[in-house]
Structure 1
């Protein structure tokens, strides 16, 4: 091989990028080799090729196949001051830019974002989701972001995107005025609004935001507990239903606490029910008792539900007494409170349990001697 053939073999004749990486930008490895005028440039769908002359962006090629010449490289021709039909080799850096959608990019709040809520006041919220983007203007992207790197991948700009997105979403949530507890039903609308709001930030660096999703906005644990309590009371509706709810909760907690068992749950449940009844009486007014004076002149509470008892006179006007011990009997006494003897009209057969008539010596039901 002669010297001229060797030198000619160093000229780049085919320029293309077969993508096998996740890079957004790929620097064609020309090194110090010159590019042959008339070389074949192949730009596939989803790509753009950019020629850079001494750090200055020159010509940009979209998808297609080109034979490099002064006619299709007007900027580079002007920069190099080439004459028409210039046919000598030249040096230039060639970069390929991926213009397809870059999907499944994650965003999230590193620290909680402080928000003002009408119902809960100042709260701290966290959010996360995903987004997708693509290079819309390769020349602007190269100029604003890429610089002089050899290659470029999404991870190198994810931190910038995250900061931009969190700031935009926080501002959007504050402007929306949507209560914290209602945010979940507005994720779709908020995602669309956030995408539109952030679009100009992406366009400024030659990109297009092609998709944006808010997956979740979470609240601090103490706020979630407050919401749980409020929803529990709403479910209860009134004190009676609330006590039923508390009963179920106590049983559930007891089942989850083998050491305590149902005994502890029963004690706590009893106290809770007693308190619930007291509160219910206070709210309904049923616990109020009128005050009356007793013969001694002292105020005494009167309970309308308490049965009134008095000594009952017999047919001769005398107070009725127990037939065994002569202890005075009251109207509602079925047995003598002193000796336990059954009242005549409340006597029962010890054999069959049948009611006995006063003065009977035999049971009228079974004939047993009394």
Structure 2
């Protein structure tokens, strides 16, 4: 190693900062726990540095540039390695992003949600984006990331799981509690109400890890196109039946029409007529129950 190589290596050791390649990480751990006295620590405007020793938080430091010397940072005296003559600190330094992490995509099935208007259970999906912020870096490290990790690839995955879990629970509850027709929900009529409720509900799941869900975006609840078409047809059929006095009245009307058709067919020497079709003919069991419920 030449003199310049040694000098460059020494300068690198004296600078403690998150590298550009790790800027996207929520948490990044400085790889070397031995830090020379008077090293320069740089904490960017959108992060905090957290010092640990023996698994315990020693100090958190906000944005700025610091000379790591126990004479101007007294907490460092607890980190001095006596075996090196007091020239080295032994500590684990984590850099935690505190800016809003936006555009985290999530999505998946909610499961079967009963449409309050018809009583028919329908497979429902959800997708969207969310943003989050870390407000307590030490809690995130000790509670979720772990001391042994140098990167935080699992943080966003864990957050997605939590968001989807709460969304599943809250949407089903809100639809039933408020009797929102699923077609209105999937059209976006209640998106703001759902978003507010989900964000509030997520607080209880993530706050203990020092994380806050800031907002949801591009949030959409959806059902299969065929299920949507079936519900629309069901709503239309139910509305028509109401205009003719309900199922009983319509069945009497249809039966009379069928008898007239049969009589005409017999007079012509044929079988029964084809005029006795019914709105309920060919309807599935679930649709039949749905019509009955909608007309109660």
Bin the TM-score by the shorter chain. Answer: 0.5 to 0.7
Confirm whether residue 25 of structure 1 aligns to residue 43 of structure 2: no
Task: Please tell me whether the aligned partners of residues 76 and 89 of structure 2 are also in contact (alpha carbons under 8 angstroms).
Answer: no
Q: Name the CA distance, whole Å, in 2 between partners of 1:15 and 1:42.
A: 6
Task: Please tell me whether the aligned partners of residues 68 and 76 of structure 2 are also in contact (alpha carbons under 8 angstroms).
Answer: no
Q: Name the CA distance, whole Å, in 2 between partners of 1:11 and 1:105.
A: 34
Match of 1:144 in 2: 143
Decide whether aligned partners of structure 1 residues 237 and 63 sit closer, same or farther in structure 2, where only a CA change above 3 A counts: same
Instruction: Report the Cα offset of residue 166 of structure 1.
Output: 2.3
Task: Please tell me whether the aligned partners of residues 25 and 97 of structure 2 are also in contact (alpha carbons under 8 angstroms).
Answer: yes
Structure 2 gaps, min length 5: 244-252, 262-296
Q: Name the CA distance, whole Å, in 1 between partners of 2:132 and 2:126.
A: 20
Give CA deviations for 1:15-71 in whole Å, capped at 9, x if unaligned.
22243342122222436xx42322221111001112222443322111012122225
Q: Secondary structure at the match of 1:139?
A: helix
Task: Please tell me whether the aligned partners of residues 42 and 65 of structure 2 are also in contact (alpha carbons under 8 angstroms).
Answer: yes
Give CA deviations for 1:202-244 in whole Å, capped at 9, x if unaligned.
21111111121362212245531222314555898999xxxxx
Q: Name the CA distance, whole Å, in 1 between partners of 2:234 and 2:44.
A: 59
Match of 1:307 in 2: none
Q: Name the CA distance, whole Å, in 1 between partners of 2:238 and 2:45.
A: 58
> Which protein is bigger by CA-based radius of gyration?
1
Instruction: Report the Cα offset of residue 134 of structure 1.
Output: 2.0
Task: Please tell me whether the aligned partners of residues 81 and 90 of structure 2 are also in contact (alpha carbons under 8 angstroms).
Answer: no
Q: What TM-score comes out, normalization by structure 1 length?
A: 0.54
Give CA deviations for 1:159-216 in whole Å, capped at 9, x if unaligned.
4223322221222223323221221201022112211110232211111111213622
Match of 2:132 in 1: 133
Task: Please tell me whether the aligned partners of residues 80 and 89 of structure 2 are also in contact (alpha carbons under 8 angstroms).
Answer: no
Match of 1:267 in 2: none
Structure with the bigger percentage of helix: 2
Q: 1:174 aligns with which of 155, 172, 175?
A: 172
Decide whether aligned partners of structure 1 residues 23 and 194 sit closer, same or farther in structure 2, where only a CA change above 3 A counts: same
Match of 2:248 in 1: none
Give CA deviations for 1:325-344 in whole Å, capped at 9, x if unaligned.
xxxxxxxxxxxxxxxxxxxx
Q: What TM-score comes out, normalization by structure 2 length?
A: 0.66
Match of 2:15 in 1: 14
Match of 1:206 in 2: 210
Q: Name the CA distance, whole Å, in 2 between partners of 1:152 and 1:222.
A: 41
Q: Name the CA distance, whole Å, in 1 between partners of 2:61 and 2:14.
A: 17
Match of 2:265 in 1: none
Decide whether aligned partners of structure 1 residues 215 and 166 sit closer, same or farther in structure 2, where only a CA change above 3 A counts: same
Q: Give the alignment of 1:28-177 within 5 angstroms.
A: 28-30=30-32, 34-70=34-70, 73-78=73-78, 88-109=87-108, 111-121=109-119, 122-147=121-146, 148-153=148-153, 156-176=154-174, 177=177
Higher relative contact order (CA 8 A, sep 6+): 2
Structure 1 stretches of 4+ with a deviation exceeding 6 A read 234-239
Decide whether aligned partners of structure 1 residues 227 and 77 sit closer, same or farther in structure 2, where only a CA change above 3 A counts: same
Q: Name the CA distance, whole Å, in 2 between partners of 1:51 and 1:223.
A: 55
- My pick for the range that moved more, 16-25 or 197-206, is 16-25
